[in-house]
A and B are shown apart, each in its own frame.
Chain A
Amino acid sequence: MHPVTKVLVVLAALLSIALAALTIAFTANAERLRGDFVNEREAAQAARDAASRDMSAHSEERNRLRSEIDSLHNQVSEMTSRLDGMQRENSRLLAELRTAESASLAVQAQLDQLSATNETLSNLIARYRDEVTSLRESGLRFAQREIGLSDRVSDLSGQLEVALENNRALQEQLVEVRDQLAAAATGETVDRDAVARPSMPIRARITDVRRGPAGDLLVQIDAGQNDMLRAMMELSIVRGDRFLGKVVLQTVDIAASVGKVDFLGLPATEIRSGDYVISVIQ
């Protein structure tokens, strides 16, 4: 074998050994790099997945935060408007407070004035009460005096009535005496048994005046059997304190009677409704 060939063989062997070593190292490193590359790729993919999930979560969170921000903005706007409204309400209430305070001062002044007026009126009322008391006492005295005078008037009125009744009775007696004298002068007798007088005082009003069939003057009075009247009773017709004539009852009902008028020779006077008939006081 040529020495060059030997050298080349040795060189080839060495290069082979070197190549083998380098190839082994290269292969190991390449394998290591490939593994790391795969791991890195997987890690990157995982990171991308995680990032996408984070992005989606972030997007959702961002949307949620945006919606929350919008709602908060709306709330802020609403609160701002409410605050403005409350501030306006506060201003209005403050103005009303000042107005109320002014009104309160005015009312207090009115109250003070009314208190002074009340005190003045109380004093006036006290004086009026005293004056009224004195006036009432005077009125009482006058009333008592009036009562006394009234009693005196009543007494005098009663005495007057008695006197008037006595006057009428005397007039009737005078008429009777005159009739008796006339009868005695002519020789006639008066039948007094047919006519009777009431045994108790009677006073009735003439309600109707008319002429009878025989031309006699008849009167109707508002007294009858309930008043102890009976037929042929004789009553006197008066108008005030004037004696007009006599009436002899013809018919007597329960509460009404009809009698014939006898003027006893006196000038006939007009008998009217409203005239009274009375009994002769015994």
Chain B
Amino acid sequence: MTQLGMQLPGSHGRRMSASMNVYTALMFVACLCLLAAVVVVYRAGSGIAPEGQPWKTHPAQQPVRLPGAN
């Protein structure tokens, strides 16, 4: 980072205190997208996972049972 001449954001050196920059915003947006993706995948997974628990998988030798289906 110091070789690059302190041109990128966040490259103020060791002496300056850290501050929020664009990367923080990007991370925030990424977290939001990840959160949204997690929520969407969670909801979708709940629809097809056994007992409505999206992190579970259907056993291989047993028939598939969807939550809410007869």
Contact = CB atoms under 8 A, between A and B. Distances in A.
Contacts of A28: 57-58
A12 B10 contact: no
A33 interface: yes
11 contacts: A4-B28, A15-B35, A15-B38, A16-B34, A22-B45, A22-B54, A25-B54, A26-B44, A26-B54, A28-B57, A33-B66
A5 B38 CA distance: 20
B36 to A, nearest CB: 10
Given A22-B54, A26-B54, A32-B64, A1 B18 contact: yes
A1 B20 CA distance: 8
Contact of A25 (B30, B38, B45, B64): B45
Interface of B: 10, 18-21, 23-24, 27-28, 30-31, 34-35, 37-38, 41-42, 44-45, 48-50, 54-58, 63-64, 66
Interface of A: 1-5, 8-9, 11-12, 15-16, 18-19, 21-23, 25-26, 28-30, 32-33, 36
A175 B68 CA distance: 185
